[in-house]
């Protein structure tokens, strides 16, 4: 028989950095889960993305066990990494603080595709490009659909 689900918890935790502090500790602990077990497992599974913010969906079962799925980093995080930025633009509409290429936009969109409600790469690329612009990151070159 399938285990009965008692609830879900959606957090964003830096890879390799889960620890029993809030919100992980209080949220899991109050349900009687072993927080230390979650942290050990999350950190081992996310070690290749050390320090990168990763969304994680935790399923909590009534028998006090859990499992979890680690999703792809938010597009904004990937854009900052691609543009090698420490911070976005002070005036994102006017001042551009960095740039990425359309190839990089595509790469980020491909990374994100499994977690997006989009089946095609183009809408995903538009979404990534929108995020980049809001952060003051310029996209260099022509959009791949410009000549279509």
Q: Considering the complex, what minimum distance in angstroms separates the CB of residue 11 from another protein?
A: 5
By CB under 8 A, name the binding residues for another protein.
10-14, 16-26, 28-37, 39-40, 43-44, 47, 50, 52-53, 64, 74-77, 79-80, 86-93, 131, 134-135
Nearer to another protein by Cβ, of 93 and 117: the residue is 93
Q: Considering the complex, what minimum distance in angstroms separates the CB of residue 133 from another protein?
A: 11
Asked if 66 and 4 count as a contact pair (C-beta separation under 8 A), the reply is no
Asked if 50 and 16 count as a contact pair (C-beta separation under 8 A), the reply is yes
Q: Considering the complex, what minimum distance in angstroms separates the CB of residue 144 from another protein?
A: 23
Query: What's the token pair of residue 24?
Result: 């992980």
Residues 6+ apart with CB under 8 A from 128: 75, 78, 79, 105, 108, 109, 112
Torsional sign, CA 19, 24, 30, 35? negative
Task: Kindly give the pairing relationship between strand 137-140 and strand 98-101.
Answer: parallel
Q: Considering the complex, what minimum distance in angstroms separates the CB of residue 5 from another protein?
A: 19
* Residue 88 zone, left/alpha/beta (φ > 0; ψ -120 to 50; rest): beta
């Amino acid at each position: 028989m399938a285990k009965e689900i008692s609830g879900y918890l959606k957090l964003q935790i830096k890879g390799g950095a889960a620890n029993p502090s809030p919100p992980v500790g209080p949220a899991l602990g109050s349900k009687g889960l072993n927080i230390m077990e979650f942290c050990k497992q999350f950190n081992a599974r996310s070690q290749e993305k050390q320090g990168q913010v990763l969304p994680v969906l935790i399923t909590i079962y009534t028998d006090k066990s859990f499992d979890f799925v680690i999703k792809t980093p938010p597009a904004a995080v990937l854009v900052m990494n691609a543009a090698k930025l420490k911070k976005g633009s002070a005036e994102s509409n006017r001042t551009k603080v960095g740039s990425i290429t359309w190839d990089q936009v595509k790469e980020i969109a491909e990374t994100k595709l499994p977690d997006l409600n989009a089946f095609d790469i183009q809408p995903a690329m538009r979404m990534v490009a929108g995020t980049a612009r809001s952060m003051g990151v310029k996209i260099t070159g022509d959009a791949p659909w410009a000549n279509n």
